[in-house]
Chains A and B, each alone.
Chain A
């Protein structure tokens, strides 16, 4: 069997190179068919991952530890205790980049101009500075530092609606942990602009210790513990382990997907449409490939007929066609991946907003702006996956020519 297979491979290999032009067209179409999806998907995934990472760092991390009931009713009377123990355990974990404690208060901010519903995030300023992009989004005044007390930062849209500037005051009304109404004065230390109108018109940040004071939480309790992991791709697995090892009775570890389902849905849908466009594109490109393979087989019908006449089996001919497409795939798919990655390297770091002159708010997903700097997602498994999918598609395309060969009439072909 082996020499036979080797000979079939030899025939296939030589047949491919007999018609160089056709072969180059086939290989070119597969290269494009592999390179283009690699480029687009890695680019798209890069944007999504950047977005997820940004939002995770801004909000409650890739993984969030919170009260089991908090999702259903995010109120201040559902906090998690013993946070320091879990926190230090997580910070000694190799997979964790950082953790951030947060106290989240829903309430109303008032000024003489009016009152606006807001969410007050009590945060650890030093943690946010190392983790979140918000400290870099301050457009006026300064970001928070530890012990800032009544000083808070607010979004530019909220500042507009409340008609306040840096140094001015507003009153924040909320409920404390016993459900009693509490009121406190805050002064604007800084105004931020993320580009997300939802965030910029709704969020107030202050030092976590003061936020705890406002609602009467002790220093061992938070609404959420946000965990920034080193590799967000496998946060689901880590999450499960932590749930078993670390979580207390009423605490639960959740994925950013559960914390921010709207963003997850948006990304899922956006990603879905990208994939659909890709599939259509790949089909178009594969069609070129398909027609060249088909042509090459149809042109050689007589050759196949004579091979059959001298005793070649159909299965052996099919094997030859299979090897031909296999060789196409083996040559073209790696080149395609390589070129796709090369193109990604080439555009990496480019500021896309220059290209389309878009308002950053036009590029938002789920209310969060995408980073306009191109940061492709270079993932070997992803690139390999695309390459393999295209490769398999090419092999599947080889089936039709095989079918045609099986229908060749030896007598008719040889008579011609």
Chain B
């Protein structure tokens, strides 16, 4: 979740920064997004709402990130799960279970398991952003659709790239490049899932969509919704912050 989340954020940020650059080479833009992101850090509060056929639950999370490789997420609410934390450094992930006071390194076999019961897997959180490596981008639409002035960037996975999708479409506002939605297609180009970006607000001086909804197409009654309650950019965090010790605090 976190990675996609971040990727999307970075796409937003790039678009914010380059909105007026009139450089519409999407590949180049995304290359620079990566570079931009690596020097960045963030700290925020997120609400995660997961709805499945069987149950619905809401978590409040606090997250820190630095560069592409370090992130830490802690559960604040509900009380029952407070202190539950996930640390990612590079490609490794650890969970801290406060109830049993144990740190568990998530093995590769667990990577396909759902992260905190959401529609994201542990793997989704770990996957590195390799958009420019894995995809070829092209602008496939520029203009007005459904009353919005948009740009549609189509991402086609490169041959042999470790990507399950057949195609990903990113739709952004033309004027400020704020994302509207990302549409994922499988290899047969059948619609697989949709990530919607709404509730655009200014936070820490940047205009960002504060609500993201992930809807798997084959289970339309299910969803995972992420709401940014608060975010600060370019906060200073030590590398030591992303340590197993911190995970347990």
Direct contact of A and B (CB under 8 A): yes
Question: Assuming A168-B187, A173-B123, is B162 touching A108 (CB within 8 A)?
Answer: no
Q: Which residue of A lies closest to B191 (CB)?
A: A112
- Complex contact A115–B123 (CB within 8 A): yes
Q: Using an 8 Å CB-CB cutoff, how does the interface string of B177-188 with A read, 1 for contact, 0 for none? A: 000000011111
A82 within 8 A of B: no
- Complex contact B121–A115 (CB within 8 A): yes
- Complex contact B186–A113 (CB within 8 A): yes
A183 within 8 A of B: yes
Within 8 A of A (CB), among B24-78: none
The count of A-to-B residue pairs whose CB atoms sit within 8 angstroms is 71
**B4 nearest CB across to chain A (Å):** 14
- A173: which of B92, B108, B161, B192 is its contact (CB, 8 Å)? B108
A174 within 8 A of B: yes
From DSSP, what is the main secondary structure of chain B's interface residues? loop
- Complex contact B187–A110 (CB within 8 A): no
- Complex contact A173–B187 (CB within 8 A): no
- Complex contact A117–B187 (CB within 8 A): no
- Complex contact A108–B161 (CB within 8 A): no
Residues in A with CB closer than 8 Å to B111 are 108, 115, 173, 181
Within 8 A of A (CB), among B98-116: 107-109, 111-112
Residues in B with CB closer than 8 Å to A184 are 162
- B112: which of A110, A150, A163, A181 is its contact (CB, 8 Å)? A110
Residues in A with CB closer than 8 Å to B218 are 113
A248 within 8 A of B: no
- Complex contact B109–A117 (CB within 8 A): yes
Greatest chain B CB density within 10 A among A107, A110, A174, A180 is at: A110
- Complex contact B109–A108 (CB within 8 A): yes
B238 within 8 A of A: no
A212 within 8 A of B: no
- Complex contact B187–A107 (CB within 8 A): no
- Complex contact B166–A112 (CB within 8 A): yes
- Complex contact B162–A117 (CB within 8 A): no
A111 within 8 A of B: yes
- Complex contact B160–A181 (CB within 8 A): no
Residues in B with CB closer than 8 Å to A364 are none
Within 8 A of B (CB), among A258-313: none
Question: Assuming A111-B187, A181-B126, is B164 touching A170 (CB within 8 A)?
Answer: yes
Please give the residue numbers on chain A whose beta carbons come within 8 Å of chain B beta carbons, in ascending order: 106-108, 110-117, 150, 163-164, 168-175, 179-181, 183-185
14 further contact pairs, Cβ within 8 A, besides A113-B218, A115-B121: A110-B123, A110-B164, A111-B187, A112-B186, A112-B187, A115-B111, A117-B109, A170-B164, A171-B162, A171-B164, A180-B90, A181-B91, A181-B111, A183-B162
23 contacts between A and B (CB under 8 A): A106-B108, A107-B108, A107-B109, A108-B112, A110-B164, A112-B186, A112-B190, A113-B186, A114-B112, A115-B123, A117-B109, A150-B160, A169-B187, A173-B111, A173-B112, A175-B108, A180-B91, A181-B92, A181-B108, A181-B126, A184-B162, A185-B161, A185-B163
Q: Which 6 A-B pairs have the closest CB atoms?
A: A112-B186, A115-B112, A181-B91, A183-B162, A108-B112, A112-B192
Please give the residue numbers on chain B whose beta carbons come within 8 Å of chain A beta carbons, in ascending order: 90-92, 107-109, 111-112, 121, 123, 126-127, 160-166, 184-188, 190, 192-193, 218
